[in-house]
Amino acid sequence: MATDDSKGFALSKQLAATTLLGYGIFGAVQVLYRLIWGWRASSRMKGLLKDTPATKGPGHDEPAGWLKDLIANRDRIHDWRCEICQGQPVSKNLGFSWHPGMTMVILNDAEGVRHILKDEFNKYTKSELRYDPFFFYVEDFLGDGIFVVKHGVGSEDRGQEWGNMRKVSAQIFSRKNFSSLMNEVFIEKAEVLRRFLQRSRDEKKQVDLQSSFFNFTLDSIMRIFFGEESNTAVGVPNVYGKAFDTAQANMRNHAVESIAPYLLFSTFLPWPFGGQHGGLARWLWDRLSRKHRTMKSACRVLDREANRLVKKCRDDPQLPERRDLLALFIQAGFSADFVKQMVLHLIIAGRDTTACLLSWTFYELTRNQDIQSRLHEEIMQKLPGTKLDMKSLSASEMPYLNGVIYEALRLWPPVPFDVKMAFEDDVLPGGWKVPAFTQVGYCPYNMGRDPKRYPEPEAFRPERWIPFTAPSPHEFPVFQAGPRICLGMDMALFEAKIATVELLRHCRFEMVQGQNVTYGDKITLDIKSNGKEEFLVHVRDW
């Protein structure tokens, strides 16, 4: 019996050793194949991009040489991009020599932007996850929805799903809704915000104006998009808004920290520990990250709240008469899971971008008291107590107000940088080659500060936009351009103008001294002051 046990143990050891050897050979071959494939793909990209100038900076002409510079300038990344791309309509950042995923072409001119967003729209879409570690975590956060779904040759259905989403979404932005639902909600919520700020003025309290604007836009969008009453502007907490902020901030920070590990796991570890999307090693990395755990915890809150909103809408006997966007998606026959994920996208679209625009607008007005006074004069002369609507707030009726808003958009675009991916080889205007699976970024922040387009670009001058000629969306891609141009552009401008007029009719604003104001680290361009996401002001009488 002992002899049989010994033989069995020896056979088990031999089998284990053979299995480990076999797995080792399998793993080595797999990793070697990936390295050869990655090297060939990277070499091909490098060859096609040989005539494209590298961005300006130490080591930027070497594969991944720009990464160290990027990390050092992480807190001022948009100004850093201005510096490294200055004077170059097209620049490149080469990725690692063993992985093609980090190679990027950066556009800084209108012709290039028009090319990728309109003329060759079907070749450029959202990133492929295996090439873009950051986008992997964006999709992990947002799921499926209008901001991440692909179109054109990069999508399995050639963009049919995206097209259907856009058609349904477009229904909320009808002229009828602008003149009724949106007008009514924006005015009501702006008056609530104004009364809150007046109480702070009477009590001589400092106010975090940025937080107030995020509350205002959230309250507005909850009604317009979801048919849900929200009153965060007067201190009633909104579970969804708080969880969304927590999830977004932690997602971005974790994604940035995970780029290098993601690429290493996906390249140098065999399946199932590595491979596509980083395998088990990436899964374990995420589980050990406090930021990722916090993001997932917040996402569970978002999921629960979204389920509640969807169920409430589905069970509403008045569903056929409802005008909100959630009701439109449900009536269009989209699945409950899809509609639930769309809620996240609609919050980004309707809350964050307009709140950022308003925050930077009032930042500039507090820095430039003469401009604030002149805008107040225009408001009191033309709209002292008039009911606000699209016509009364138009550029022809309120040229200085329109100039202030557009100047804030020029200097502080809510989405300062955007990226597409080429899914076929292409050639940009000017003859610059773009290999397939290259990331192609464009920079509204850079383009708005180009001295060739805007003399004295750092100066806040609303007169630039008087008389007003609507800028080409490719010269001024603040709202994207082409078929994916922002559906909510007119709504955002309308909402920002209503809030600005309502507040400046009654209040004057002064910046609290001692604030070191810069931008934060979110996907959207919010204000960061002394390390906190806030913008403190004193509210005064005129």
Annotated binding site for heme: 486
* Count, residues in the chain: 542
Residue 479's φ and ψ, nearest 5 degrees, are -110, 30
* Alpha carbon distance 309, 383 (integer Å): 37
Largest Cα–Cα distance in the chain? 105
Amino acid at 228: E
Binding residues: 486
Pairing of the two strands 439-442 and 104-107: parallel
Radius of gyration (C-alpha) of the chain in whole angstroms: 26
Single out the residue of 299, 284, 281, 265 nearest to residue 139, CA to CA.
299
Provide the b/e sequence for 124-163 (b: ≥16 CB within 10 Å). Answer: bbbbbbbbbbbbbbbbbbbbbbbbbbbbbebbeeebebbe
| Helices of type H across 58-144 | 67-72, 77-85, 110-114, 133-142
The C-alpha angle 523, 526, 529, rounded to 5 degrees, equals 130
Cβ–Cβ under 8 Å, residues 291 and 170? no
